[in-house]
């Protein structure tokens, strides 16, 4: 079964073709970063306007790269949620209509399920069960994964998502949007021990996160530091270390709590190298392995949607021609495929 996957939940248009026998055939992503940079954040209407111009050109691009005609597709998967409703509707409309017109099965898939299954696209995929840490601009989630569709939420952010905290902190440091990667670069020049940020919610049991306090902490440090050279890099370093430590502490707890031997880390923030080092160290102490998707599949992409769709479509799941999308969709409400 060859599945076309279409992702339009936020500010990246992603399209891919996954083949159940031969794996990922091609994928392409168009990032809207430049479009939103002026505004310092994603403008939903601009995102939707861009998606509607990108989905089919990207689809044609991936089919050409895969050496396939459009008639060679067997099914279509698209992101149903969670995400920006207007943006999701673009991908859903194209995908569902395309499938209907060719009499193909179609399915709306869960964006976060797709993220946590993304490492299964790699050559050395983790076996079930595992613990997944999903970290992006919109999500911070620890999940116990017994199998496809068998999820138990262990913890989540009670306020800002970790990627959001990176972007907001970067803004306080006068770094251009999107600030996450910029902050990582600046932090690499900073001194590790000059600023000691709190490790939020690590002094009590539980697996929830809170990152909004770090932003306030940063704001005060930036104000007090004034124009002092080097201070911004030191602040960036302190912030990043605090986030990495906090996530690593919660991962340790989650692995210990569940007895899992494998940890999946996915989502855009999982590309952060400092964070990976901390998490790898914690996992090594516990004798657990860590699995990351390749960098291109850490951020939003169509490959994970095609793959996630494949797992469910191949088990016989089908979406109705009355399609819908949803801004909120708890991962725990998902069921095993079929």
Which positions lie near other proteins, rule CB under 8 A? 39, 43, 45-46, 48-49, 52-53, 55-57, 59-60, 70, 85-86, 89-102, 321-325
Which tokens sit at 13?
């248009």
Between 91 and 126, name the residue whose CB sits nearer to other proteins: 91
Q: Are 208 and 155 in contact (CB under 8 A)?
A: yes
Cis link prior to 82 (omega < 30° from 0)? yes
Gap between the Cα atoms of 237 and 212, Å rounded:
17
Between 108 and 268, name the residue whose CB sits nearer to other proteins: 108
Burial class from Cβ neighbours inside 10 Å (0-12, 13-18, 19+) for residue 332 reads: exposed
Between 67 and 101, name the residue whose CB sits nearer to other proteins: 101
Closest distance to other proteins from the beta carbon of 36 (Å): 10
For residue 318, the tally of other CB atoms under 10 A from its CB is 12
Closest distance to other proteins from the beta carbon of 57 (Å): 5
Between 96 and 232, name the residue whose CB sits nearer to other proteins: 96
Between 204 and 322, name the residue whose CB sits nearer to other proteins: 322
Closest distance to other proteins from the beta carbon of 77 (Å): 14
Closest distance to other proteins from the beta carbon of 58 (Å): 10
In this structure, is the dihedral angle defined by the CA atoms of residues 284, 270, 113 and 29, taken in order, positive or negative?
Answer: negative
Give the angle subtended at the CA of 135 by the CAs of 318 and 149, to the nearest 5°: 30
Closest distance to other proteins from the beta carbon of 324 (Å): 6
């Amino acid at each position: 079964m060859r599945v076309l996957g279409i992702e339009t939940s936020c500010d990246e248009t992603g399209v891919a073709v996954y083949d159940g026998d031969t794996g990922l055939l091609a994928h392409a992503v168009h990032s809207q970063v430049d479009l939103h940079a002026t505004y310092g954040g994603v403008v939903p209407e601009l995102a939707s306007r861009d998606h509607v111009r990108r989905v089919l050109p990207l689809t044609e691009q991936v089919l050409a790269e895969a050496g396939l005609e459009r008639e060679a597709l067997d099914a279509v998967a698209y992101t149903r949620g969670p995400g920006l409703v207007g943006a999701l509707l673009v991908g859903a409309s194209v995908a569902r209509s395309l499938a209907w017109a060719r009499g193909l099965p179609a399915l709306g898939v869960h964006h976060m399920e797709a993220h946590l299954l993304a490492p299964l696209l790699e050559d050395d995929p983790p076996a079930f069960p595992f613990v997944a840490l999903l970290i992006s601009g919109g999500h911070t989630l620890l999940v116990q994964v017994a199998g496809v569709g068998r999820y138990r939420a262990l913890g989540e952010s009670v306020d800002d998502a970790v990627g959001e905290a990176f972007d907001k902190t970067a803004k306080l440091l006068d770094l251009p949007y999107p600030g996450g990667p910029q902050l990582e670069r600046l932090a690499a020049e900073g001194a590790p021990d000059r600023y000691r940020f709190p490790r939020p919610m690590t002094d009590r049991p539980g697996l929830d996160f809170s990152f909004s306090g770090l932003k306030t902490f940063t704001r005060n440090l930036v104000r007090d530091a004034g124009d002092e050279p080097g201070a911004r890099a030191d602040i960036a370093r302190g912030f990043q270390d605090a986030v990495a430590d906090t996530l690593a502490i919660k991962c340790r707890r989650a692995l210990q709590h569940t007895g899992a031997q494998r940890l999946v880390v996915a989502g855009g923030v999982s590309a952060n190298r400092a964070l990976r080092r901390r998490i790898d160290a914690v996992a090594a102490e516990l004798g657990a392995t860590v699995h990351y998707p390749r960098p291109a599949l850490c951020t939003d992409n169509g490959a994970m949607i095609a793959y996630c769709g494949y797992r469910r479509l191949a088990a016989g799941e089908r979406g109705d021609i009355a399609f819908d999308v949803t801004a909120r969709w708890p991962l725990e409400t998902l069921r095993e495929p079929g």
